[in-house]
A and B are shown apart, each in its own frame.
Chain A
Amino acid sequence: MKFGVVVFPGSNCDDDMMHVLGTVMEQETVKLWHKDDRLAGFDTGDCIVLPGGFSYGDYLRSGAIARFSPIMNAVVEFAGSGGMVWGICNGFQILCESGLLPGVLLPNSGQKFICKNVHLSVTSTQSPITAELKAGQVLKIPIAHADGRFYADDQTMAELRANDQILFKYCDEAGAVIDSANPNGSLDAIAGICNRQRNVFGMMPHPERAAEPILGNADGRLMFESLLASVSAV
């Protein structure tokens, strides 16, 4: 299995992803340049990561310009053929803007950028990044975003629930999904979702920032381990 981390102009978590996937998880990982229009050397057993950051400065709606990058055509095609695509923070926003995932990410309800640890409750284990976790398991993972309020219309929300596409919800330390533990006003406290085919997943929290004991928190590593385990199980 191979990982490709897309570098958009303004991506700033690309190096962090390279570090965790390459150095910490010891996986073959390469950077992909946004101007490339092909994913050379990747097949459907591989995973493309859209990292966090402020693509194109995010002066327009977050992710709205990056979705027009040449490489996104290839990413959409790759996803369509069953390849895994994982978007984190800005990557999640780009996936929603490009239509690979439903919904949008609006400015936080508090109208401020927020960077802090939050707790996530695993809602669905039916995805590569949650397959090895337990439903209701609580993970401490940091967020860092200004536009993380997940929103979708009623019909989309109903589909997300019906198809078990909600991967993570914001919760308190004990796992209770309550308003005071929802940092950005996301609908239904949604922190991460997957598509219907379950090969495209997006989330606002940053597991790559919580994947090493030296940083005092390795909860995020569980998602990387789950992904690797579920691929090798196939």
Chain B
Amino acid sequence: MTTNDYLAKVLVSQTLGEESDELKALQERRADVEKLLRQHFEKSSPTIRYGGSKAKGTMIRESYDLDVICYFPHDDTGAGETLEDIYNNARKALEGKYLVAPKASALRLKDPNPSNRAADFRIDVVPGRFTDTSKGDAFLYRSSGEKKRLKTNLDVHIKHVKESGVTDAIRLLKLWKVRNVLSIKNFVLELVAIKLLKARAASGLATQLEHVWKEFRDSAEKVSVEDPANPTGNDLSELLNDGVRSELTTVSRRTLKLIEESGWEAVFGSVDEKSKDDKREGLRRAAAAVITPTKPWSQGV
């Protein structure tokens, strides 16, 4: 199997098919969220649709969530006078049924049932307001940071990623980010990857990934990104701060070394999925091989 065949198999293993249990559960939940929002904001006629990796085609099984945007018409005040009001009113609407964890611009939905201990439904609702009748640009509320308003455009973002020709490389880089617990935001990694691979869309996946890692290893301080939806208005530099760049450099250097010494499987692992029984048997054998057993404790009462 060639490296590119192997990477293609990794991608298949990371694909959430339309018929997969995970995606079905998300879609059912999404339908419920949409119903809830439409009932609550009946007179405001919000636009509710998929955003994020689902819309951009960059979702991976290892770490997925669903962004549901809920944008109100530019002249609507029924959902709230200000962006902050919209954000808070959407939160109130969802709190009737969900445990809502506020994020910078989104609302994360969790299970309110105490016996399920706030299980994460992996859904982010992003409230906002269109800037005009064209329903392209939208303003989002930002609950943190100096600027309390963010201008964005979902269609521009989707187009930018989908038409980049490098969505497979993006998905693998996201998997690499997850496996190495890197703090770079997904959408920043997407934008960086697109920029670095601009002239390499026709290259093989392995070449593309190695190029990105070499850039991170050798010139992370020079990497910059612009928000395609608002290139001059949204400053993304803080999202690529020294800490984030240092992580990218360190982990890229080690990744490239690992490929050189042990091959690609050392980076993304085996693509052969183990059966439950094989896994159980292997884990039992691993436990039997432990020389110094230790027991866990719990601080909780």
A and B physically associate = no
Residues of B within 8 A of A (CB): none
